[in-house]
Amino acid sequence: MNLPGKTVERLSEYRRTLLGCLAEKKNYIFSHDLASRLHITAVQVRRDLMLIGYSSVQRKGYDVKELIETIGSIIDSEVSMNVAIIGMGNFGRAVAGYFKGKRSKLNLVASFDTDTQKIGKVISGVRCYPLSEMEAMIRDMDIRIAIITVPPDYAREIAGEAVRYGIKGILNFTTVPLNVPSWVFLEEYDMITSIEKVAYFVKENVV
Amino acid sequence: MNLPGKTVERLSEYRRTLLGCLAEKKNYIFSHDLASRLHITAVQVRRDLMLIGYSSVQRKGYDVKELIETIGSIIDSEVSMNVAIIGMGNFGRAVAGYFKGKRSKLNLVASFDTDTQKIGKVISGVRCYPLSEMEAMIRDMDIRIAIITVPPDYAREIAGEAVRYGIKGILNFTTVPLNVPSWVFLEEYDMITSIEKVAYFVKENVV
């Protein structure tokens, strides 16, 4: 199914919210309730779920468990996909922490760093390897996704290497925009943009 | 000037890219060059800059220095704005690191945590205070923006407190969606969404 990027983002958010509902022992949810928890419109929710062929049970809303499974069947890969973090500074360790204890089709199987203090150790639940082993590890462990959290000056070089070694998707958390070949999916997030956005709206006081 | 959120995000990205140009001693840039560095269209760049009343010099493109200043005059506040980070785990420290050495109108003036090992220390360039001092500090130092990087179970409570103490903008990096009063600007980022998006497009191989 070829969904737009924004829809995939929302499906991911729906699922996380629905998992929260399950934890609250809430088994059914109306589109407007799901929508308000995510600060979007109920129309948006219904449109997205229609797109993946899901509809609500009359008068009860969506079946939470069923919807979690439906979303999973669409956005998750059927077999597990291996992920690596490149750069185990504070940000890299924060990202690794997010994977801990998650029942997911995404396996964080390795991290890479140049710091000899880190290499060989398990940090935030994942073993750290030297950058020199990146090529062999990506190939041997079939690592498809690289999360890049290296210092900005190394971002381009590291991304280039990861792509040459066979990485198919990159999540770039550095402040440096990357260029990748057309067969690699690139997602970039720069927290400065979010911070400056908040500052702008606080300044303008237009909320 | 009441700009849409997405425009503010792009202006922030333009500025960061332009600062990179200056570092490369590049004094003029064409819209298509700026656009391609950010993986967007030249039309988008021209439309955004027209919106802030900026146009290019004939045949030379945009004056990089001038454009940096123009963007700053629009998105930055005239006086400095104070920021605090709540939660100095790995993510909090990573965020603090981003502020170091930045010449910006945003001052990271405090961080808060419950960990007695951290309290009283300068961590990633910012002093850490106990949560119990948050109320007084937000008031006395006129802290407007809170970046929330606490464990998910504490996110709602902490955000509620920050708002009661006078915070005007929140950047929520936890996995828990927040609710804030209408006078508080809320921006949320959950890295799981980005990771799941990359995984989806790698799986679908539609890049």
Q: State both tokens at A40.
A: 């979007």
Strand partners, B62: B29
The ipTM of this complex is 0.91
Nearest to B46 by CA among B2, B10, B20: B10
Q: Where in chain A is the domain with CATH 3.40.50.720?
A: 81-192
CATH assignment of B5-74, among 2.160.10.10, 1.10.600.10, 1.20.1370.20, 1.10.10.10: 1.10.10.10
Residues A99, A126 contacting (CB under 8 angstroms): yes
CA distance B202 to chain A (A): 6
pLDDT tens track for A21-57 = 988 899 999 999 999 988 889 999 999 999 998 877 7
Listed in order, strand segments (DSSP E) in B9-65 are: 28-29, 62-63
Tell me the mean pLDDT in the region B34-53.
92
Tell me the mean pLDDT in the region A133-148.
97
pLDDT tens track for B65-90 = 999 999 999 998 888 899 999 999 99
* Mutation site for B-interface testing, chosen from A163, A202, A205, A206 by largest number of B Cβ within 10 Å: A202
Query: What is the percentage of chain A residues whose pLDDT exceeds 70?
Result: 98
Whether residue B140 has pLDDT greater than 60:
yes
Q: Note the pLDDT of residue B207.
A: 44
Q: Output the pTM of the full model.
A: 0.88
Which residues numbered 45-64 in B keep a CB inside 8 Å of some CB on A?
none
Tell me the mean pLDDT in the region B168-186.
93
Q: Where in chain B is the domain with CATH 1.10.10.10?
A: 5-74
CATH number of this structure's domain B81-192: 3.40.50.720
Let me know the angle formed at the C-alpha of B174 by B169 and B180, rounded to the nearest 5 degrees. Answer: 35
CA distance A114 to chain B (A): 18
What H or E segment, with its residue span, contains residue A147?
strand A143-148
pLDDT-derived band at A207 (thresholds 50, 70, 90) equals: very low
- Residue pairs between chains A and B whose CB atoms are closer than 8 Å: 188
CA distance B17 to chain A (A): 8
CB atoms within 10 A of CB B199: 26
Interchain contact A156–B (C-beta under 8 A)? no
Choice among A136-140, A152-156, B2-6, B168-172 with the minimum mean pLDDT:
B2-6
Q: Note the pLDDT of residue A8.
A: 94
pLDDT tens track for A91-130 = 999 999 988 867 678 999 999 999 999 999 999 999 999 9
Whether residue A1 has pLDDT greater than 80:
no
Q: Note the pLDDT of residue B103.
A: 63
Task: Check CB contact under 8 Å for B12 and A75.
Answer: no
